[in-house]
Structure 1
Amino acid sequence: MTEAQVSGSRARTRGAIVEAAIDVLGRNPAASLGDIATAADVGRTTLHRYFADRADLLRAVGAEAGARLDRATVQARMAEGTGASAVHRLCQEYFDLGSLLSIIFNESLLAADPSWAGPAGCDPDFAAMVERGHRDASIDPELPADWVQSLIWSQLYAGWAYLRDNGASRHEVLRLVLRTVDGAIAVRTT
């Protein structure tokens, strides 16, 4: 086997472990490393070859969470269209993060990585999107950007909890989340 093949194989195994951790921890934050190894279809020894301990694995999950959030944010095209249409797209992209949302909402899992900032704080691009919505009259001007951001995260959390607890379809729950967010940020006519 060539060195490139070994590196590719190692990267795939590492990726499979991180993906399994996202899936398993998204359903059960208290899951053991053995549960994650089983889901990744590797032995515990193999898991420990890649991640010395749970904190090491959670740092990798945190890095993956950050990368996926960044990709979802780019795919939402926050600088395009009305502010409200950009918020709508952002909710759709974030909702599609799936099990990773459960991990993001359970901040104690990501506390192992001090660099993890999670969804807290309002970045300038998000603030600009909301301000654009204020100017184009698609977002209520009485709602500050950090409020809109908190609203989005709370509705995504509510959506995933509803999905988990009620067995509704992802499509239906996303529709409910979008309807709620769209209504909450809309300009009041009275």
Structure 2
Amino acid sequence: MTEAQVSGSRARTRQAIVEAAIDLLGRNPAASLADIAVAAEVGRTTLHRYFADRADLLRAVSAEASARLTRATTQARMVEGTGASAVRRLCQEYFDLGAVLSVLFNESLLSAEGGWSGSGGCDPAFAAMVERGHRDGTIDPDLPVDWVQSLIWSQLYAGWSYQTETGASRHEVLRLILRTVDGAIAPRPA
């Protein structure tokens, strides 16, 4: 094997371990390294070759989850259209994150290892999107930005859980999420 082939193989193995960890930790935050090795179809020794301990693996999981969240946020085009249409696109992009959401929602799993922390308020782009919706009349101005953020996260988590528990289709669950969020953020008639 050439050095490039070895490097590519190592990257694929490392990514397979991180993917398995995201999937497994999304369903069971207490999953052991042995469980993750089995899910990644590698030996425990191989897992330890890439990640010395659980903290190393959780840092990699956090980095991957954060990168996926950033990509989804970019794809949602939060600066385009009405505030409500941007919220809708954001929900659609975030819903497709799947198990990543569950890992991110389990803040204690990642923050205990010095990784991602979802607390601390809304980022400025999210706040600007909601405030645009307040101004353009598509988001109820009585709903604070932090409330809208909490609403979105709770509905995404509820949808992901519902899909896992009931086996409902992606299309149906996303329809339910969007209907709920649309209704919740719409301005109330005077």
Interval of TM-score (by shorter of Structure 1 and Structure 2): over 0.9
Query: Residue 99 of structure 1 aligns with which residue?
Result: 99
C-alpha separation in 2, matches of 1:53 and 1:115: 14
Q: TM-score, normalised by structure 1?
A: 0.95
Contact 1:59-1:112 at 8 Å conserved across structures: no
Which residue type is aligned with residue 67 of structure 2?
A
Query: Residue 158 of structure 1 aligns with which residue?
Result: 158
Identity %: 81
Query: Residue 5 of structure 1 aligns with which residue?
Result: 5
Q: Closer, same or farther in 2 for the Cα pair 1:145/1:54, shift >3 Å?
A: same
C-alpha separation in 2, matches of 1:74 and 1:114: 25
Which residue type is aligned with residue 74 of structure 1?
T
The gaps in structure 2 that reach 5 residues or longer are: none
- What SS does structure 1 have at the residue aligned with 2:79? coil
C-alpha separation in 1, matches of 2:76 and 2:156: 15
Q: TM-score, normalised by structure 2?
A: 0.95
Query: Residue 186 of structure 2 aligns with which residue?
Result: 186
Which residue type is aligned with residue 153 of structure 2?
W
C-alpha separation in 2, matches of 1:21 and 1:87: 29
Contact 1:66-1:118 at 8 Å conserved across structures: no
Are residues 1:74 and 2:78 paired?
no
Runs (4+) off by over 4 Å: none
The aligned length equals 190
Q: Closer, same or farther in 2 for the Cα pair 1:124/1:61, shift >3 Å?
A: same
Deviations 1:48-78 (A, max 9, x none): 0000111111110001110000000000000
- What SS does structure 2 have at the residue aligned with 1:16? helix
Q: Cα RMSD (Å) of the superposition? A: 1.3
Query: Residue 42 of structure 1 aligns with which residue?
Result: 42
Which residue type is aligned with residue 184 of structure 2?
A
Query: Residue 170 of structure 2 aligns with which residue?
Result: 170
Per the TM alignment, residue 119 of structure 1 is displaced from its structure 2 partner at its CA by 5.9
C-alpha separation in 1, matches of 2:40 and 2:111: 23
Contact 2:107-2:117 at 8 Å conserved across structures: no
